[in-house]
C-alpha cells in the first residue's frame, strides 16, 4: 500500500503520522508531502527517515491513498490531480465536505456508503465528528428533532500559530499583533469566535456543525443551532449538547446504548466525580460522553457532555479509520 501524507509537517499531519504507526496501517511505501519550502526536509516514520517531496512529484508517484491535511485551497487544487491518477484522497479540509458529489464520512456511522468510485472523501470538521459519533445511535433509536450545541474548543484546532501564541502568552511574553492567531489573547481567556463571522451572525465553525451534522446523519429536517467558543486548553474539544427527540427515552437506556456503541466511552459516575474532560481525552482515539441527564424544560429532552481529542478523533484518527475501512473492504 503506497500512502502519501500531504501536509506531513503540520500539526495534524504529525499526528496522522503517529496514528498510521499506531494502527499498524499496511504502508509499503511512505510518501511525506509538503509545500515547496519543506521539500527535502526529513520526517520520521516507523524509525526510518524520509525526504519530503513536492505535490507534483507525489502525484506522479501514484499513491494508492493520499491523506490530506494541508488546507482547503491546496486540496481544491491538488486532490483532483491525485484522483485523476486513481489515487483515493481522504481530505481533512473543509473543501469538499458540502460538495453533494462527495461523501462526508465518520466510519462508525456511514462508512458503508463508500464505493470504489469514491476518489475524494471528505473528513468532517473536528467538532462535528465527536458529536455525531455520540448522536448517531440516539438518532437511530429516538429520532432527533432539535439540537442546541455549545462548544469549548482547544486552541490547537487553529493550528501551529495559535499554539505559538498561547505558549508565548503563558510564558509572559506579549506577542506582536501580526503574530497572533486571534484578535485577543487566548491565555486565561475564552473567545466566542471560532473561524470567521458570516452574514447571518454565526461563525463558519458554527454553521459547519449545522450543515455537516445533517449530511452525516442523512436528515435535512434536523433543527440545529450552535455557539462555538475557543478556550485555553492544549488539546481536546468539549461540547454541551441539548437534544430534543421525537420519541421518549429512559436515561438508563441511553447510557446502555452509548456504552454499546463503537468508538464511545461513557464516563458518567457522579458519585466518584467521573465525567469527560480534555485531560482524559488527550492522545486517545475514542469519544467520551457523560453528564447524561433529562431536560425537563422540553418533551423528550436530553443534556449530554461530549469530549474528544480534536487532533485525534477530530482529525487524524478519523482519516486513518477511513483509510483502514477502504483497505479492509477492498475499495482501494
Residues ≥6 apart with Cβ < 8 Å to 205 = 125, 127, 151, 153, 194, 195, 228
What's the mean pLDDT in 11-26?
95
Which 3 state secondary structure label does DSSP give 316? helix
pLDDT tens-digit readout, 78-130: 999 999 999 999 999 999 999 999 999 999 999 999 999 999 999 999 999 99
Please give the Cα distance from 254 to 137 (Å, whole number). Answer: 9
Q: Could you say which architecture CATH assigns to the domain 2-124+315-328?
A: 3-Layer(aba) Sandwich (3.40)
Task: List, as own/partner pairs, every contact residues 48-57 make where C-beta atoms lie below 8 angstroms and the sequence separation is at least 24, other chains included.
Answer: 52/8, 52/9, 55/6, 55/81
Instruction: Give the chain's mean pLDDT.
Output: 96
Task: Return the residue matching grid coordinates 469514491.
Answer: 118
pLDDT 10s digits, 224-234: 999 999 999 99
Residue 90, beta-bridge partner list? 67, 121
Integer Cα distance of 106 and 298 in angstroms:
30
pLDDT of residue 175: 79
**CATH 3.30.360.10 domain extents, the chain:** 127-310
Beta-carbon contacts of 221 under 8 Å, excluding residues fewer than 6 positions away, are none
Is the pLDDT at 178 greater than 80? The verdict is no
**pLDDT confidence tier of residue 174, bands split at 50, 70 and 90:** confident
Tens of pLDDT, residue by residue over 144-156, are 999 999 999 999 9
- According to CATH, the superfamily of the domain at 127-310 is Dihydrodipicolinate Reductase; domain 2 (3.30.360.10)
DSSP 274-296: B---HHHHTT--SEEEEEEEEET
Q: What is the pLDDT of residue 176?
A: 77
Q: Map residue 37 onto helix, strand or coil.
A: helix
Catalytic residue positions, numbered: 126, 237
Amino acid at each position: 500500500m503506497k500512502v502519501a501524507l500531504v501536509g506531513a509537517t503540520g500539526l495534524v499531519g504529525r499526528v496522522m503520522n503517529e496514528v498510521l504507526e499506531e494502527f499498524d496501517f499496511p504502508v509499503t511505501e511512505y510518501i511525506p508531502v509538503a509545500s515547496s519550502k519543506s521539500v527535502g526536509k526529513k520526517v520520521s516514520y516507523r524509525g526510518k527517515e524520509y525526504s519530503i517531496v513536492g505535490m507534483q512529484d507525489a502525484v506522479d508517484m501514484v499513491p494508492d491513498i493520499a491523506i490530506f491535511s494541508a488546507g482547503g485551497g491546496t486540496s481544491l487544487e491538488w486532490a483532483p490531480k491525485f484522483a485523476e491518477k486513481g489515487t483515493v484522497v481522504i481530505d481533512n479540509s473543509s473543501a469538499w465536505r458540502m460538495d453533494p458529489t462527495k461523501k462526508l464520512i465518520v466510519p462508525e456511522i456511514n462508512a458503508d456508503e463508500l464505493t470504489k468510485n469514491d476518489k475524494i472523501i471528505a473528513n468532517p470538521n473536528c467538532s462535528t465528528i465527536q458529536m455525531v459519533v455520540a448522536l448517531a445511535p440516539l438518532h437511530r433509536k429516538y429520532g432527533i428533532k432539535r439540537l442546541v450545541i455549545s462548544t469549548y474548543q482547544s486552541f490547537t484546532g487553529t493550528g501551529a500559530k495559535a499554539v505559538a501564541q498561547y505558549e508565548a502568552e503563558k510564558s509572559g511574553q506579549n506577542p506582536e499583533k501580526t503574530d497572533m492567531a486571534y484578535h485577543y489573547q487566548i491565555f486565561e481567556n475564552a473567545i466566542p469566535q471560532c473561524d470567521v463571522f458570516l452574514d447571518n451572525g454565526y461563525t463558519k465553525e458554527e454553521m459547519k456543525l449545522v450543515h455537516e451534522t445533517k449530511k452525516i446523519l442523512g436528515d435535512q429536517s434536523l433543527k440545529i443551532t450552535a455557539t462555538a467558543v475557543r478556550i485555553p486548553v492544549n488539546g481536546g474539544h468539549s461540547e454541551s449538547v441539548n437534544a430534543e427527540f421525537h420519541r421518549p427515552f429512559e436515561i438508563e437506556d441511553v447510557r446502555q446504548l452509548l456504552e454499546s456503541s463503537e468508538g464511545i466511552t461513557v464516563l458518567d459516575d457522579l458519585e466518584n466525580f467521573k465525567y469527560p474532560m480534555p485531560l482524559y481525552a488527550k492522545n486517545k482515539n475514542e469519544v467520551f460522553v457523560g453528564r447524561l441527564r433529562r431536560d425537563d424544560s422540553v418533551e423528550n429532552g436530553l443534556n449530554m457532555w461530549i469530549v474528544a481529542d480534536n487532533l485525534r478523533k477530530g482529525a487524524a484518527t478519523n482519516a486513518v479509520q477511513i483509510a483502514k475501512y477502504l483497505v479492509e473492504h477492498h475499495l482501494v
